[in-house]
Structure 1
Amino acid sequence: MFQSMQQCTDFIFQLKASSYKGAPLESTQKILAELGHPEQKTKFIHFAGSNGKGSTLNATREILMEHGLTVGAFTSPHLERANERITINQQEISDEQFLGYANAVAHAVHEHLDGQFPSFFEIVTLIALQHFAHEQIDIALLETGIGGRLDSTNVITPEVSVITTISLEHTDMLGDTYALIAAEKAGIIKKGKPVVVGVENKEALEVIRQVAQQQEAPFYHLHEAFHIERLANGAFHYKGDSTISNIQPAMEGAHQQNNAALAIKASQLVLDELQEDAVRKALQRAKWQGRFERFGEQVILDGAHNSEGTTALIQTLQQVEPTKKYHFLYAALQDKDHGVSIRMMENVATALYFTTIPMPRAASAEMLAAQSNHPNKYIVEDWAHFLVEKQLAQDELLIVTGSLYFIGEVRTFLKTRGVQ
């Protein structure tokens, strides 16, 4: 059994999904049975999608909290410590609670799985489900890890499912077409339970629509069942069953307006009635770490970890900082289509800097730089030293982007130096 949080996280962090040889979800379901089925004791909203699910979940959480609900959230990845993944009303699970639930999982693994541990993500999912059941909260918001159909979070029956966007990512696991990836994400749609969808790719949207029909799940698509009217200064009107005017979200960019609209619709489906002022106040407060997050006047952190995220990042830059010159510091993992993102950045960048994350699956700075033809491209050996020494002119911005793991490292570094 785990004696300390450090021992616990050191052990579970090194667990790989590929090392467990059982059928998909089999280990999660066996452990849940041993734990007394905590997943059956909580109401849920389930979030899947290639981009935007964290921001949409966070906006939904703020809206529901502003309406007086006690709201759990399970998100990933964490930026600084594992406790961030499991919160109730934004209060992180304590080390003692985490350790207690982890030991309950370990006991079940030894009793029913011959000591064969499933993946890190599955274990943390099981910890979250226990925590939410024990605390008897009003509702929990669960974000999938990868995909949906075979994701360990897919042991729940939610009140509402939300699918934000579909892009070509994790193609080795989810398939190499929009239709195949959409089918995996649509696996979270449950019989008769409504689904809120922001997907715009036609091929992906058609697959999700078909799955919803098969499951007799009410289907609410942004731009069809509900709409947004974009205003100046980043504000928008929401038009659905009710109209909420002049919403000014804290998150910048048109894609964040879309995410906010999905959150409003999902919230409306679980609440008897939306209070307009509560929605406005909640979305003015709803910020999500590492997504177009400003540090000081000239540094922006954004976990644009695939081409769709990079598109949204550049559109937001051009919308809110159109006159600035952009310097990008980029680091990524090997399992992404870097070339597309790099070409997008090249089109708008004054300079591109590539560095390497200290992780086993990291793409090397040299490999990333080799995919760029920009005349001002550089390899950065020590990104921390670079951040300290980099001098920016008044009309320049430094955008730190790529892997969310990298964003987490940079956030921690900047905070320790007192940069806000």
Structure 2
Amino acid sequence: MTEIHTYADALSYLYSFADYERHTPRQKEFQHLDNVRALLTALGDPHTRLRTIHVAGTKGKGSTVAMLTAVLVSAGNTVGTYTSPHLNTHRERYRLDGASVSEHLLTGTLRDIRPIIEQVRADRPLTTFEVATAFAFELFVRQGVEWAVIEVGLGGRLDTTNVLTPVLSVITSVSIDHTEVLGDTLELIAGEKAGIIKPGVPVVVSPQAPEALQVIRSRAAATGSKLLGVERLVRARRRKILSPQRQEFALDTQLRLNDQALHGRVIGLNLMGTHQVENALTAITALCHMDRRQAHVDQAAMLAGLQDVRWPGRFEVVPGEPPIVLDGAHNADSIRKLRRTVEEVFPGQRAVYVFGSGGSHDATAMLREIGDSPLVLCRSTHPRSKPVSELAEAAAARGAKFEQAPSVGEALATARNVPGAEVVVVCGTLFIVADAREVLGIAEATDPVRS
């Protein structure tokens, strides 16, 4: 066994397992929970010693996780957060009180549990995500977190994180994505997301298309879980755009937090778009249905947490001439919301789109939503990125005018020089956003080893 002495060693070890995110196409027959359960059993079932919130959804789950984390931390709780994928460093996946875990802590914890992982590996073909998930639970137990906010990786029912019995489940907006694994209808995809609902555990549900909501409602009824529909419980009024990185809205609701009425409260938010307002309402609904004796959240903590929340790569505005918007929108629904937000935040300004796509995503549908805006096509350094030639074929088929660039850096340079460009929008996949953040020098960190 290779020894783990450095952070680079730790990454090499993690990536020595089957990594479906980067190299191996996801296949349904390999989706099950047997391996992660065996690994967790060998570790002493750390996940059963955590107080968790489990969040699934097609879009908005990462932002909702960030909001919940920010409010819980603002209230004085110690919080572990597990999300995927990462943008620029693997350490982003494991956060303690909102900050990425240090190289030293990641390396030391993985080194400690590697012999146990190897025992399980001898009998089972573990994946990187299974090891990472078990590692996250073990890390959070060792750090004594009071809450763990856990984002589903893919789907829900058979996702590696679905070994949890949380205090609360959350399902954000469901739309068409990852059809090769989750199914090609909204009903099938909603069924996979609803698989995180556990018997007797309340589930907070963001506004949904009727066909998706019906599936989720049926699952909640079958498990005896109280369904808390955000749309019924709280609405946003008097929304205002204050700047390209700031919006606010007032609550219209009968909900109470720590016995304090929330109606009329004005919420400030640094994440932009009506979809982020929806995510904030989802987080607020969840917070109102958590045991106040455990979470210690009051209105001041809620307001402060939501006001300060950051989630890189989600309508992240990089100032400049022209300004650059980085957004990981990667299906037709999220591109539609992104374009609407661009038009709202930068009204009347000419937007140039830098676009790339992951190999399994529907680039044609996304390009349709971008419409007739100037377009620069490129490919990220991620091995599962779609080749520029495929993007060009899809764009040409719908008569779009476009330019091509061999890298994200060159695509940005091209976009900035498009005549009349007033804002550049980078989108289509988090892979493109990650590369753009490195090129622009705003990445939190970069890793010495990539899978």
Instruction: Please give the TM-score of this superposition, normalised by the length of structure 2.
Output: 0.87
1:288 pairs with 2:311: yes
Q: Secondary structure at the match of 1:410?
A: helix
Q: Secondary structure at the match of 1:224?
A: helix
Q: Distance in 2 between matches of 1:185 and 1:158?
A: 15
Deviates further, 364-373 or 145-154: 364-373
1:323 is matched with which residue? 348
Counterpart residue type for residue 249 of structure 1? L
**CA offsets 1:338-362 (integer angstroms, 9 cap, x no match):** 1111011024x1x111001223322
Q: Distance in 2 between matches of 1:330 and 1:319?
A: 20
Counterpart residue type for residue 342 of structure 1? L
Q: Distance in 1 between matches of 2:223 and 2:443?
A: 51
Q: 1:195, CA displacement in angstroms?
A: 0.6
**CA offsets 1:157-208 (integer angstroms, 9 cap, x no match):** 1111111011111111111111111111111111111111114211111000
Q: 1:394, CA displacement in angstroms?
A: 6.9
Q: Distance in 1 between matches of 2:179 and 2:30?
A: 22
Distance 1:375 1:50, change over 3 A: closer
Q: Distance in 1 between matches of 2:234 and 2:443?
A: 44
2:359 is matched with which residue? 334
Q: 1:270, CA displacement in angstroms?
A: 2.0
Deviates further, 107-116 or 163-172: 107-116
Superposition map of 1:12-411 within 5 A: 12-13=14-15, 15-17=18-20, 24-114=32-122, 116-233=124-241, 234-238=247-251, 239-242=253-256, 243-244=262-263, 245-272=265-292, 274-297=297-320, 298-347=323-372, 349=373, 351-372=374-395, 373-388=398-413, 390-391=416-417, 396-411=422-437
Distance 1:114 1:168, change over 3 A: same
Q: Distance in 1 between matches of 2:169 and 2:254?
A: 18
Q: Distance in 2 between matches of 1:254 and 1:359?
A: 30
Deviates further, 332-341 or 353-362: 353-362
Deviates further, 118-127 or 143-152: 118-127
Counterpart residue type for residue 401 of structure 1? C
1:3 is matched with which residue? 5
Deviates further, 104-113 or 125-134: 104-113
Distance 1:229 1:405, change over 3 A: same
Q: Distance in 2 between matches of 1:184 and 1:240?
A: 31
Q: Secondary structure at the match of 2:371?
A: helix
Deviates further, 280-289 or 232-241: 232-241
2:244 is matched with which residue? none
Q: Secondary structure at the match of 2:232?
A: coil
Q: Do 2:31 and 2:158's aligned partners in 1 also have CA atoms closer than 8 Å?
A: no
Counterpart residue type for residue 358 of structure 2? L
Counterpart residue type for residue 61 of structure 2? K
Q: Secondary structure at the match of 1:223?
A: helix
Q: Secondary structure at the match of 2:300?
A: helix
Q: 1:415, CA displacement in angstroms?
A: 1.4
Q: Distance in 2 between matches of 1:326 and 1:412?
A: 22
Deviates further, 116-125 or 234-243: 234-243
Deviates further, 90-99 or 311-320: 90-99
Q: Do 1:105 and 1:126's aligned partners in 2 also have CA atoms closer than 8 Å?
A: no
Q: Do 1:77 and 1:405's aligned partners in 2 also have CA atoms closer than 8 Å?
A: no
Q: State the number of aligned residues.
A: 416
Q: Secondary structure at the match of 1:263?
A: helix
Q: Distance in 2 between matches of 1:102 and 1:115?
A: 20
Gaps of 5+ in 1: none
Counterpart residue type for residue 415 of structure 1? G
Q: Do 1:83 and 1:98's aligned partners in 2 also have CA atoms closer than 8 Å?
A: yes
Deviates further, 371-380 or 210-219: 371-380
Q: 1:385, CA displacement in angstroms?
A: 3.0
Distance 1:277 1:202, change over 3 A: same
Instruction: Please give the TM-score of this superposition, normalised by the length of structure 1.
Output: 0.93
Distance 1:236 1:190, change over 3 A: same
**CA offsets 1:351-408 (integer angstroms, 9 cap, x no match):** 1110012233221112112212355311112331343463366761100111112211
Q: 1:156, CA displacement in angstroms?
A: 1.0
Q: Do 1:67 and 1:275's aligned partners in 2 also have CA atoms closer than 8 Å?
A: yes
Distance 1:385 1:231, change over 3 A: closer
